[in-house]
């Protein structure tokens, strides 16, 4: 006997329960990730912040750096932007999964939330690249001439995350067309 996927099977309590779990997980991460990153950025040494931004300095160069409190606070603020974008995306994902847990499969709200998730993740990667560049400039601004750095790193993780965000954006676009078709068909019945 073959298993057939029916609308009732796809919208059963298991799908709704799992969507609810994902909604709560996204909500938890949307709050805890910015707090964890803030704590990490505040407690990291200047050398570790520079390494995180892609700048490698010798021990003598690090000791010559004179990083002021203002530079440090600016570096922390810049470092928070990517995680805030990701947190926005997670809030959108939470709303999407919340709708799915209430069997809102063909609603414009669900599609908008999915698209917001994709936009938040995309913005997180782009701001992460730009902020690491700016953090390297901010932290080495007080260094002697020739010792200042401008660093940016683009790796496979960033590229795959950008691809993932683009794919989710496109899936949301297809879902938006499906919602429009469902609404159009509902008018004929």
Helix then strand then coil, % of the chain, to nearest 5: 75, 0, 25
Stretches where the chain sits below pLDDT 70 are 1-12, 56-65, 142-150, 189
Cβ contacts of residue 106 below 8 Å, gap of 6+? 178, 179, 182
pLDDT value of position 147: 63
Q: What is the pLDDT of residue 1?
A: 44
What confidence score (pLDDT) does residue 173 get? 92
**CA-angle at 173, arms to 123 and 125, nearest 5°:** 15
pLDDT of residue 188: 77
pTM for this entry: 0.82
Give the start-to-end residue ranges of the domains of the chain. Answer: 12-188
- Cα–Cα separations (whole angstroms), residue 72 to 67, 141, 147: 7, 11, 18
Model pLDDT, residue 11:
55
Chain-centre distance for alpha carbon 150: 24
Helix 108-139 with 156-188: angle, nearest 10 deg: 160
Q: What is the pLDDT of residues 117-164, one digit of tens each?
A: 999 999 999 999 999 888 888 877 766 666 666 677 788 999 999 999
CB atoms within 10 A of CB 98: 20
Could you tell me which of 107, 98, 92 has the C-alpha nearest to residue 23? 98
Q: What is residue 154's predicted lDDT score, i.e. its pLDDT? A: 80
């Amino acid at each position: 006997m073959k298993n057939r996927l029916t609308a009732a099977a796809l919208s059963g309590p298991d799908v709704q329960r799992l969507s609810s779990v994902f909604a709560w997980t996204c909500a938890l991460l949307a709050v805890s990730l910015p707090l964890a990153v803030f704590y990490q950025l505040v407690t990291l040494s200047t050398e570790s912040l520079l390494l995180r931004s892609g700048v490698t300095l010798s021990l003598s160069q690090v000791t010559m750096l004179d990083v002021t409190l203002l530079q440090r606070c600016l570096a922390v603020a810049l470092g928070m932007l990517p995680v805030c974008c990701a947190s926005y995306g997670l809030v959108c994902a939470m709303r999407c999964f919340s709708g799915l847990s209430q069997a809102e499969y063909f609603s414009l709200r669900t599609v908008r939330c999915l698209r917001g998730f994709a936009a938040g993740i995309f913005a997180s990667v782009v701001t992460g690249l730009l902020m690491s560049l700016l953090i390297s400039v901010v932290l080495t601004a007080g260094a002697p001439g020739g010792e200042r750095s401008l660093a940016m790193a683009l790796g496979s993780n960033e590229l795959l995350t950008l691809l993932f965000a683009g794919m989710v954006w496109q899936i949301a676009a297809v879902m938006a067309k499906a919602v429009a078709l469902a609404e159009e068909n509902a008018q004929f019945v």
